[in-house]
Structure 1
Amino acid sequence: MNTSVSSPSAAGGATRAADAATRVRVWDVPTRVFHWTFALCFAGAWLTSDSERLRDLHVMLGYTFAGLAAFRVLWGLVGTRYARFASFIFSPRELVAYVKSLLAMKPRHYLGHNPAGAIAIFAMLGLAALIALSGFATYQDIGGEWLEELHEGAASTMLAIVFVHIAGVGVSSLLHRENLVRAMLTGNKPGTPAQGIRQTHRIVGAVLLAAVLGFWWSYQTGATDAWLPQLTTTADRHHDAD
């Protein structure tokens, strides 16, 4: 049984109203640091994707994006209750039931990720791997034009999922009368004490943020040149040949 599921909205409205006075910790610090830095890296990489002048920034954000995705996979295995993949793996029947409850304007309430959100997370992690690998190959001039097209197509698909995810967060916030954006900032949601996580892992979150900022500083100062592959493109090779 999925431990993140609470009672249906239709039957649990009174329960949630009573629980509203009690806010419990749901999202640990590493999950929140990942969420916002991952979003920042994707947005930044998307905005710099067509700029040759900002190519180094695009590549730096791409490396960070890939590293964050790898961390999230690890944290999905060893993290806290609602961060673990096991807490939001739903059957097709559960997904259909959730969609039906949404259409009926009486959505089931989940303290952690709901089935629709879970699909978005797995899709984004899978696309992140595809974007990172195809982007690395493109800047190493491996595979030809088809890999560049794959990179752009995967990024466009990711952007579409992001927009759907944002819309879903807005709809869920309205229907459940809870601010999901604020919850991902503070880590708290209305619930009973037994539903909250015990540890927030602030040290892990601080180390993750320090690693991101440290990598950015090292990349900008050239300290990563000794161990990161030097990226080249066909355009660079033609320029060198000239």
Structure 2
Amino acid sequence: MTAGKVRVWDFPVRLFHWSLVTMFATAYLTSDDAEALHQWAGYIALGLVAFRIVWGFIGTPHARFADFVPRPARLANYLGLLARGREPRHLGHNPAAAVMIVFLLAMVAVIGSTGWLMTTDWGWGNETIEALHAGAVKLTLAAIAFHVVAAVFESMRHRENLVLSMLTGYKRR
């Protein structure tokens, strides 16, 4: 522990986060040009999501879903406070960020699953699966953009660098 700081994000959470960023970007950027790399990046992303789900139940306190996934009333209260500019700072994920995390995990699972299905005899050439895959990618890209903007907003609002904390694991007390 460093002076005035506390470890919040453990190494597995940070490694997961940046590995998923890397695999999603790799899959997205190679979708037309390098089919094997695209597929492997997708399979690794699926594996990362599976790991994160397990770690969400057995990991360190701030990694556990029970620590940060809010009930609807808690989310509504937080959003109301946020709308009035009175939202509290959270040491771990705030309720809105928690919903975004669950959404992104689900979307990567949909993207990876539909991508895999397109490689099977059953799903090969299935336009519905292809449309779901492409639509999920577009929706996920929009969610990622919103996630980044929200992290910058919260960093400025609460005067702490959230990107740096996802690299180091530390936040101020």
Q: TM-score range, shorter-chain basis? A: over 0.9
Q: Please tell me whether residue 163 in structure 1 is matched to residue 145 in structure 2.
A: yes
Cα distance in 2 for partners of 1:142, 1:180 equals 43
TM-score under structure 2 length normalisation? 0.93
Cα distance in 1 for partners of 2:3, 2:88 equals 20
Alignment of 1:25-104 (within 5 A): 25-51=7-33, 54-104=34-84
Cα distance in 1 for partners of 2:162, 2:93 equals 11
Aligned residues, how many? 170
Alignment of 1:204-219 (within 5 A): none
CA RMSD of aligned residues (A): 1.4
CA contact (8 A) 1:105 1:175 kept: no
Equivalent position SS for 1:82? helix
Alignment of 1:1-242 (within 5 A): 22-51=4-33, 54-143=34-123, 144-191=126-173
Question: What is the CA-CA distance between 1:21 and the residue it aligns to?
Answer: 5.2
Deviations 1:2-56 (A, max 9, x none): xxxxxxxxxxxxxxxxxx95101000000000000001111111111122xx111
Identity level (%): 44
TM-score under structure 1 length normalisation? 0.68
Cα distance in 2 for partners of 1:171, 1:97 equals 19
Equivalent position SS for 1:155? helix
Question: What is the CA-CA distance between 1:141 and the residue it aligns to?
Answer: 4.4
Alignment gaps of 5+ in structure 2: none
Deviations 1:47-97 (A, max 9, x none): 11122xx11110110111001000000100100000000001212221122
Q: Which has the larger radius of gyration?
A: 1
Cα distance in 2 for partners of 1:141, 1:163 equals 34
Deviations 1:115-155 (A, max 9, x none): 11101111111112111111011122433121111111111
Deviations 1:91-120 (A, max 9, x none): 222112212222222221110011111011
Cα distance in 2 for partners of 1:136, 1:122 equals 21
Alignment gaps of 5+ in structure 1: 1-19, 192-242
Cα distance in 2 for partners of 1:50, 1:180 equals 33
CA contact (8 A) 1:26 1:187 kept: yes
After the TM superposition, list the runs of 4 or more consecutive aligned residues in structure 1 that deviate by more than 4 angstroms: none
Equivalent position SS for 2:32? coil
Cα distance in 2 for partners of 1:171, 1:141 equals 46
Q: Which has the higher contact order (CA 8 A, sep 6+)?
A: 1
Cα distance in 2 for partners of 1:156, 1:118 equals 21
